[in-house]
Amino acid sequence: MTPTAVLHSEWIKITSVRSVRGSLLAILLSTVGFTLLAFATMSESDRAGNDLLAGAFTALNFGQLAALAFGATAMSSEYHNGALRLSLIAVPRRGLFYAAKTAVIGALALTIGWVTTFTAFLAGQALRGDQAIGLDHPGAVRACMGAGLYLALMALIATGLTALLRSAVAVLGILIPFTLLASFIFVDVSGVAQFLPDRAGQQLIHQNPTGSLGAWTGLGVTALWAALFLLIGWWSIRRRDA
């Protein structure tokens, strides 16, 4: 099969699984929904926080969890009922198969990520009243674009780890507690927490990023984490039996 045909095949496979479609849609619904809920219940003083830009992405962590679920379920579908064996019969070149799979997952996550971040930003500001900021606010477009990229990278981290562990449940059992707790556990260890994928990647939603990492440098650290996990996943696909 040609690369184009493999990409098309993976697109059909991923978008035809109901649980995968649901987890992809959950990125948008959870982020926008919790953004609206947060601003609807905030007091005026809370809406006028010190970092209005970061406040606009108060629900990004919910979208992040959905992105992890999407990456994990999209990859784990290959390990149900011998699907991976059939996929490798159709596409014997494992590198091509894995590259197409991760490319489609990344493209879908990035597309929904950008729709999510821009929608959540604009919807949240509509409820912010006098404290609202627009896309012309310094750093706003950067934050929306970067946050969408961040969600896609988190989905790819889950994809790579799922290729290794072959279980969405196991992957989510590791990554969800890790993203929720690791930054707090390592917060007192000088210089460590800022290099974790979630803490580094979310630097770009702040008006003035803190620590030694800048906005895009922090996202670059998250990209390195994603690359590492994807390489680990490729090693597993290449070396292990279907």
Q: Tell me the per-residue pLDDT of 165-181, one tens digit each, with 9 for 90 and over.
A: 999 999 999 999 888 77
Residue 116 — pLDDT band, cuts 50, 70, 90? very high
Q: Which two tokens stand for residue 110?
A: 């990035």
Return phi, psi of residue 100, to 5°.
Answer: -65, -40
Tell me which of 37-41, 59-63, 119-123, 170-174 is least confident: 37-41
Residue 165 pLDDT: 94
Residue 143 pLDDT: 94
Maximum distance among all Cα pairs of the chain, rounded to whole angstroms: 60
Q: What percent of the chain has pLDDT over 70?
A: 92
d(CA 149, CA 146): 5
What is the pTM (predicted TM-score) of this model? Answer: 0.92
d(CA 151, CA 77): 20
Neighbours of 105 (CB within 10 A): 24
DSSP secondary structure of 52-88:
HHHHTTTTHHHHHHHHHHHHHHHHHGGGSTTHHHHHH
Residue 188 pLDDT: 53
CB 68 within 8 A of CB 155: yes
The angle subtended at Cα 231 by Cα 226 and Cα 237, nearest 5°, is 125
Question: Which residue in this structure is represented by tokens 């679920």?
Answer: 69
CB 139 within 8 A of CB 54: no
Q: How far is CA 224 from CA 70, 164, 195, 200, 220, in A?
A: 20, 18, 10, 11, 6
Q: Which two tokens stand for residue 188?
A: 């007192």
> Among 11, 10, 6, 167, which residue's Cα sits nearest to residue 92?
6
